[in-house]
């Protein structure tokens, strides 16, 4: 039986950020993830987590570039110094928020040098913080044009090269469907590498039950695989209130 987490950057956005934690708990979630928790003082996020009883499952890194730069730059050959500096900042937040996982974003890049840089940065990160678990996630080129990590076979190759026990795959049903056209087939092939699962229906990244993905079959496959991590709802509700979009979870 999956443990469901709510992505509070996308869900319950009809509420102020700190109120979303309690709303998620009341809706039946037991975990929460926040894409970029860097704008809120950690003490406030900690209090919201404590009051709601939710586990803090995942956050993204590096922190966003508020000067208008790229979303992530772990694969940028000329961005190594900045990546390492900003990841130190990320880990200061992580020391207080204690996320189970940190998703490391590759950023936009292409070519062998980018892949070598991404691998080296992930190895450095894993070795520098061996007690923290990290993930990488392929993002589809429609949502993230030019993003370096845009294929699950590529992710598998990178994970084999990184070869660290605390770096794993982040499987996202929305991106898997958009990239490869069959989210279930991607899970069957790459699910054993996954330390985290996110769900959303292609092509609009809406709640499960819309679009071509057979979510009952996907949930059954996840259960049958023995996966015991979190399944995080990361989608844009098609309803005004998030709770009205949760029929898939009640089912």
For the question of residue 241 being annotated catalytic, the response is no
- Whether 234 sits among the annotated catalytic residues: the reply is yes
DSSP H or E stretch at residue 224: helix 215-224
- Please check whether residue 9 is in contact with residue 36, taking contact to mean a CB–CB distance below 8 angstroms: yes
Q: What are phi and psi of 213, to 5 degrees?
A: -70, 130
3-state SS, one letter per residue, for 15-76:
CCHHHHHHHHHHCCCCEEEECCCCCCCHHHHHHHHHHHCCEEEEEEECCCCCCCCCCCCCCC
Q: 104, 110, 198, 109: which is closest to 159 by C-alpha?
A: 104
Strands (E), 124-164: 133-136
Collapsing DSSP to helix, strand or coil, 173 comes out as: helix
Backbone angles phi, psi at 33, to 5 degrees: -130, 150
Checking DSSP bridges between strand 167-172 and strand 194-199, what pairing results, if any? parallel
Distance between CA atoms of residues 213 and 80, nearest Å: 38
Catalytic residue among 116, 137, 157, 204: 137
All residues at 6 or more sequence positions from 233 whose CB lies less than 8 Å from its CB, including other chains: 4, 5, 6, 7, 11, 29, 198, 199, 200, 207, 249
192 and 160 Cβ atoms separated by less than 8 Å = no
Instruction: Report strand pairing: 3-7 vs 101-104.
Output: unpaired
Query: Which of 14, 96, 234, 241 is an active site residue?
Result: 234
Q: Which residues are catalytic?
A: 137, 234
């Amino acid at each position: 039986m999956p443990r469901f987490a709510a992505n509070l950057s996308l869900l319950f956005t009809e509420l102020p950020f700190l109120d979303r934690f309690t709303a998620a708990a009341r809706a039946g979630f037991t975990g929460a993830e926040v894409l970029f928790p860097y704008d809120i003082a950690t003490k406030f996020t900690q209090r919201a987590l404590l009051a709601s009883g939710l586990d803090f499952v995942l956050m993204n890194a590096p922190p966003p570039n508020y000067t208008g730069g790229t979303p992530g730059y772990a694969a940028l050959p000329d961005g190594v110094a900045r990546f390492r500096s900003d990841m130190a900042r990320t880990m200061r937040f992580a020391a207080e928020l204690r996320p189970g996982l940190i998703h490391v974003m590759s950023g936009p890049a292409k070519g062998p040098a980018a892949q070598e840089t991404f691998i080296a940065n992930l190895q450095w990160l894993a070795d520098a913080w061996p007690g923290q678990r990290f993930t990488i996630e392929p993002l589809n080129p429609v949502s993230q044009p030019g993003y370096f990590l845009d294929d699950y076979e590529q992710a598998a190759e990178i994970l084999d090269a990184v070869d660290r026990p605390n770096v794993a795959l982040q499987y996202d049903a929305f991106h898997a469907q958009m990239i490869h056209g069959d989210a279930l087939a991607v899970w069957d092939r790459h699910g054993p590498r996954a330390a985290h699962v996110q769900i959303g229906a292609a092509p609009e990244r809406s709640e499960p039950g819309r679009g071509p993905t057979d979510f009952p079959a996907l949930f059954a496959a996840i259960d049958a695989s023995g996966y015991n991590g979190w399944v995080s709802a990361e989608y844009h509700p098609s309803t005004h209130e998030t709770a009205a979009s949760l029929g898939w979870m009640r089912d």
